[in-house]
A and B are shown apart, each in its own frame.
Chain A
């Protein structure tokens, strides 16, 4: 099941070579640089990247390394696909926006109504 991370804000380059848990990451310097470039350019352009690979190859570790964005004051939202929730409408979206649902009052009325309908 896919894992989705959304980063909002701007980061400074820190040359991250450690996982979110603090363990060293080996052999992924090129990929980490690519992620850093995406995050560093967030105020100039939006970007999306699909990281693919076999189980255990390091996809989640690589994506989680973007925690440095949080350290730079960015808002980072995460969601992870859960097999048992595959048939539930908006389950992944609910997990993603749950930390910021308190801000729903600031949305325009149609979007607020929509968010309330699928989150309740």
Chain B
């Protein structure tokens, strides 16, 4: 059985495949009401219907847009804005503005400036498998992130033309080490591995990976390097920032890429 999910309006490989199609539309009123109630969004029937019509019954839009509306709008005492915020093409994103808090000295459109995840949403959005206490600790230790990286179209992959190294954390509880190894293999990286959580790239680990590459002669550096070529850009990927165990040093966890 082959199941394919494909976005409407985007030219794709399966467009002319002649496959039977299941076209998903928006939620009807009963389903929209159940969804909103499950997320604690209690709206009057009239407002709910207006919201459903304007969002086309899109589930994340139904759940997130009430966060942006005022008390009068939610209570049906004033009309909803038209068009609704963030309902333009390509603007809807699972991490709605209500889940992010922008730093006060920046201003601009949503996702365009350094932001933090609102603590109330941190565990649900980012650390679902951690216990609440540890998730709260991680939330308090957040560093501002430019969330535009999640909504900006990406360009050609860098690792296709640049030498790559990958440090795998064998104790990572957020991203399965097996998946990390698969990604490392996928990018043809010279790979180093540590059995413990990796809060940050260390000089010793960097040297360990580079030494391994020099010994095997099969690393990405030698793969892509041609005679006379100077490698002026290098990168190391470390995806190991969050572990179920606090770092032994007690220092904040961080991602380094």
Interface residues of A (CB under 8 A from B): 1-8, 21, 24, 26-28, 31, 34-35, 38-39, 42, 46-60, 62-63, 66, 83-85, 87-88, 94-95, 98
Contact = CB atoms under 8 A, between A and B. Distances in A.
B106 interface: no
Contacts of A47: 1-2
14 contacts: A1-B7, A2-B13, A26-B35, A27-B27, A31-B22, A46-B1, A48-B1, A51-B3, A51-B21, A53-B25, A55-B92, A56-B61, A58-B59, A59-B5
B59 A7 contact: no
B5 A60 contact: yes
Secondary structure of the A contact surface, majority rule: mixed
Nearest to A38: B1
Contact of B21 (A38, A50, A84): A50
Assign chain B's interface to a size class. 35 or more
Contact of B153 (A28, A39, A59, A83): A83
Contacts of A31: 22, 24
B146 interface: no
Contacts of A48: 1-4, 19-20
Pick from A26, A28, A31, A42 the residue with the most CB of B within 10 Å: A26
A37 to B, nearest CB: 10
Contact of B38 (A26, A54, A56): A26
Interface of B: 1-10, 12-14, 17, 19-28, 30-32, 34-35, 38, 56, 58-61, 90, 92, 94, 128, 153-157, 160, 182, 186
Contact of B22 (A1, A51, A87, A95): A51
A20 B211 CA distance: 42
A27 B28 contact: yes
A26 B27 contact: yes
B94 A50 contact: no
A31 B20 CA distance: 13
A59 B6 contact: yes
B5 A24 contact: no
Contacts of A39: 1
A66 B6 CA distance: 16
B241 to A, nearest CB: 21
A24 B38 contact: yes
A88 B9 contact: no
A112 to B, nearest CB: 19
A54 B56 contact: yes
Pick from B3, B19, B20, B153 the residue with the most CB of A within 10 Å: B3
Contacts of B6: 2-3, 50-52, 59
A84 B3 contact: no
Contacts of A54: 7-9, 56, 58
Contacts of A63: 3-5
A29 B90 CA distance: 28
Closest 6 interchain pairs by CB?
A: A27-B31, A53-B24, A59-B5, A48-B2, A84-B154, A3-B5
B21 A98 contact: no
Given A3-B5, A4-B4, A87 B14 contact: no
A26 B128 CA distance: 21
B186 A94 contact: yes
B99 to A, nearest CB: 15
Contacts of B13: 2
